[in-house]
């Protein structure tokens, strides 16, 4: 209908509808602008982080050699000093601290470099058993019982060394979370999510749990709540990097007071 034939009421209604649409568009525009700002900020942070990562990797690389040399000489000194001498104790201390520095550097290098994965067909159950065996004695000493529930899972296509590193980090965190003892469960399975199939590995503990406010922070590099000085707070960020580097993802659940469950999801590949 031409505007000339419309009643005053109709014209007012149309004007209202038009104003409502304009208001909606303005709200949408604001939202888009906010999203654009957020993404821009993230991009800048990302660029800063990768520059920092490169710098850290270079520094870590440079100090690695002198540290190895110091460690080597400390061992030689240690061998030549008769037992019982005070100097032997000092040499042992140097070796111990050098080992700690080497571990930190290894973590930092692993975190700041793009890890190079050598992917092969891998039985995740076997890797889990190997990791568990490495922690058996410690679990025993800490009154932690181990439960295993291994499914018949399809092999994943993955780098054994790195997957083991991820599992070890999770087991080590679970042990730290149960200073009074408890139960550590490791479970493998196959699962579907959003119409995709995954091979999963879950590590559950009955420990202190994770406060909700920390759930978003724990995967950030250098975030740690531990105060023993030996932690770098890189364990979970490394796990995340490893799993994502295999096309998978990591998830955490920590219902208050009931411990935590960390789940690794690896893409299912039909064999
Ligand atoms: N199973 C768990 N139960 C309770 N808290 C956990 C658990 N796993 C991780 N966290 C929390 O997440 C933080 C980060 O873990 P992450 O493994 O990255 O570092 P870390 O264990 O503190 O140090 P690092 O692994 O470098 O020795 C921990 O300090 C702890 O607060
Ligand atoms: Mg850790």
Cβ count near 97 (within 10 Å): 14
Does 270 score more than 80 pLDDT?
Answer: no
Element (H, E) at 202: strand 196-205
The topology (CATH level 3) of 120-267 is: Heat Shock Protein 90 (3.30.565)
229 confidence band (pLDDT: 50, 70, 90)? low
pLDDT tens figures, 29-42 = 999 999 999 999 98
Q: Where are the domains of the chain?
A: 1-113, 120-267
Cβ 204 vs Cβ 185: under 8 Å: yes
pLDDT of residue 59: 84
pLDDT tens figures, 156-179 = 999 998 999 999 999 999 999 999
Task: Say whether 120-267 and 1-113 share the same fold.
Answer: no
pLDDT of residue 205: 98
pLDDT of residue 14: 94
Average pLDDT for 221-249: 88
122 confidence band (pLDDT: 50, 70, 90)? very high
Sheet holding 144-150, edge to edge: 144-150, 182-193, 196-205, 260-267, 249-253
The residue whose C-alpha atom lies closest to atom 12 belonging to ligand 1 is 218
Average pLDDT for 132-139: 94
| Per-position DSSP letters for 204-265, written without gaps between them | EE-SS---GGGTTTTTSTT-----SS---S-HHHHHHHHHHTTT-EEEEE--TTS-EEEEEE
pLDDT of residue 271: 64
Cβ 222 vs Cβ 231: under 8 Å: no
Q: Is 210 in the pocket of ligand 1 (CB under 6 A)?
A: yes
Pocket test for ligand 1, best of 100, 186, 218, 221 (most atoms within 8 A of CB): 218
54 confidence band (pLDDT: 50, 70, 90)? confident
| Per-position DSSP letters for 119-141, written without gaps between them | -EEE-HHHHHHHHHHHHHHHHHH
pLDDT of residue 47: 84
- Nearest atom, ligand 1, residue 223 CA: 14
Does 135 score more than 70 pLDDT?
Answer: yes
Evaluate whether the domain defined by 1-113 bears CATH number 2.60.40: no
pLDDT of residue 1: 67
Q: Is 232 in the pocket of ligand 1 (CB under 6 A)?
A: yes
Q: d(Cα 148, Cα 154) in Å, to the nearest integer?
A: 17
pLDDT of residue 256: 78
Tell me the CB-side half-sphere exposure of residue 39, using CA atoms within 13 A.
6
User: Could you tell me what percent of the chain has a pLDDT over 90?
Assistant: 69
Does 65 score more than 70 pLDDT?
Answer: yes
Cβ 233 vs Cβ 217: under 8 Å: no
Average pLDDT for 9-24: 94
| Per-position DSSP letters for 41-105, written without gaps between them | HHHHHHHHHHHHHHHHHHHHHHHHHHHHHHHHHHHHHHHHSPTT-HHHHHHHHHHHHHHHHHHHH
What are the φ and ψ backbone dihedral angles of 245, each rounded to 5 degrees?
A: -65, -10
Ligand 1 centroid vs 206 CA: distance in angstroms? 14
Does 145 score more than 70 pLDDT?
Answer: yes
4 or 254, greater pLDDT = 254
pLDDT of residue 130: 95
102 confidence band (pLDDT: 50, 70, 90)? confident
């Amino acid at each position: 209908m031409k505007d000339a034939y419309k009643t005053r009421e109709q014209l007012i209604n149309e004007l209202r509808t038009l104003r409502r649409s304009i208001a909606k568009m303005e709200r949408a525009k604001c939202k888009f602008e906010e999203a654009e700002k957020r993404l821009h900020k993230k991009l800048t942070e990302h660029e800063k982080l990768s520059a920092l990562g490169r710098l850290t990797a270079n520094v870590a690389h440079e100090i690695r050699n002198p540290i190895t040399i110091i460690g080597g000489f400390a061992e030689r000194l240690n061998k030549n000093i008769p037992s019982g001498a005070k100097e032997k104790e000092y040499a042992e201390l140097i070796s111990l601290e050098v080992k700690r520095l080497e571990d930190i550097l290894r973590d930092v290098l692993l975190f700041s470099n793009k890890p190079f994965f050598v992917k092969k067909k891998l039985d995740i159950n076997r890797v889990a058993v190997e990791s568990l065996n490495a922690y058996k004695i410690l679990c025993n000493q800490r009154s932690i019982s181990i439960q295993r529930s291994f499914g018949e899972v399809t092999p994943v296509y993955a780098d054994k060394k790195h997957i083991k590193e991820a599992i070890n980090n999770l087991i080590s965190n679970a042990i730290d979370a149960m200073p009074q003892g408890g139960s550590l469960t490791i479970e493998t399975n196959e699962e579907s999510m959003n119409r995709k199939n995954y091979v999963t590995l879950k590590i559950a503990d009955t420990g202190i749990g994770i406060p909700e406010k920390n759930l978003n922070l724990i995967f950030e590099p250098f975030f740690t709540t531990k105060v023993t000085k030996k932690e770098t707070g890189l364990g979970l960020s490394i796990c995340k990097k490893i799993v994502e580097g295999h096309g998978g993802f990591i998830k955490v659940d920590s219902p208050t007071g009931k411990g935590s469950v960390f789940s690794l999801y690896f893409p299912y590949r039909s064999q």
